[in-house]
Structure 1
Amino acid sequence: MFKTISLYKMITFSNVSFYSKHAKSKPKMKLKCKSKDEEKPQERRNSLALRDPPIRDPEEAIEGKRKIEEIDVPIELENLKVLGDLPEEYRKRRVARIYQRSKNVMQQGIHNTKDWIMDFGTEQRWENPTMGWCSSGDSLSNFHMVFPSMCAAICFAERQGFRWVHEKPLVKKELKKSYSDNFTWNKRTRVSTK
């Protein structure tokens, strides 16, 4: 069974668009024609006589509002206390490791290796006798934070009162390669014929 679909054609009359079921049918919409005596928009705009608002002094504009004054407060970092739910033994005993993540061994770029990671080593690890899986009672071992730079990671560790260790990233040496080396007549680089 097929359904008959009637096509609609679009008819446009002086900036008014509507759809008609049949191409020959007359529009059922009354269109308003502009008379010649009607005002032009330019003349109408001039008749309103728009004026610019008066210029006020900024001090007068603020008088009604409350003025905010900036006050310099000296802060000594030695007097600041770390606030958090982390037990004090974690801050004193554990050492945070700050490092840059290594490149994935698959064919990926190096964009994901620019972040710096702060984590803690895993402690209290044992082998589960039921399945033989490795279990841990250390909740801090799952703590991984990603930072855009090494300085941001170190500042966070200092603010939280963590002891930290920084690992220098291994920088990959860029070797000069040329496409023409694939075709040189050299025993070391020559590919045998197939």
Structure 2
Amino acid sequence: MTARIYKPTKNAMQSGMKNTRQWILEYISEEGKSLDPLMGWTGSSDMESQVKLKFATKEDAIAYAKRNGLAYEVVEPKMPKRRIKAYADVFAYRG
């Protein structure tokens, strides 16, 4: 069983940084999903793919994976480029 350790990104409807400070350990499913022919739902017999563990730091998540003998993959977060803006820039003339 392989685990993925990552830091979640904020969604498009979110302006703040809520729920993006923790690291998540998530099991990677080794078998594909199956389609229910009657209802059209997707499902899987792999129960571990539903487990998401939250940790305060990346090191805590890695320590948990090592302690439980899990193969893991760390996905580093991409930091957004911040542009410093001033209120006066709204009215600046850029001919």
Which one scores higher on RCO, CA 8 angstroms, separation ≥ 6?
2
2:44 corresponds to: 136
Deviation at 1:124, TM superposition (A): 3.7
Percent identity reads: 35
2:10 to 83, 103, 106: 103
- What's the counterpart of residue 182 of structure 1? 90
1:27-51 Cα shifts (integer Å, max 9, x gaps)? xxxxxxxxxxxxxxxxxxxxxxxxx
Question: Scaled by the length of structure 2, what TM-score is found?
Answer: 0.91
What is the 5 A alignment of 1:163-182?
A: 163-182=71-90
- Specify which structure has the higher proportion of strand: 2
Q: Over aligned residue pairs, what C-alpha RMSD do you find?
A: 1.2
Q: 1:124 touches 1:138 (CA, 8 Å); kept in 2? A: no
Q: Which 4+ runs in 1 deviate beyond 4 A? A: none
CA distance in 1, matches of 2:32, 2:46: 6
Please give the residue correspondences for 1:73-152 in structure 2 after superposition, counting only pairs within 5 Å.
94-122=1-29, 123-152=31-60
Max Rg structure: 1
Q: Deviations over 1:13-63 (max 9, x none)?
A: xxxxxxxxxxxxxxxxxxxxxxxxxxxxxxxxxxxxxxxxxxxxxxxxxxx
Gaps of 5+ in 1: 1-93, 188-194
How far apart are the structure 2 equivalents of 1:129 and 1:107?
A: 36
Distance across 1 between alignment mates of 2:58 and 2:24: 9
- Report deviation, 1:156: 0.4
> What's the CA shift for 1:108?
3.0
The whole-number CA distance in structure 2 between the counterparts of 1:132 and 1:108 is 35
Number of positions where the alignment pairs a residue of Structure 1 with one of Structure 2: 94
Instruction: Provide TM-score, normalisation by structure 1.
Output: 0.46
- Aligned residues of 1:117 and 1:153 also touching (Cα < 8 A): yes
Q: Which runs of 5+ in 2 are unaligned?
A: none
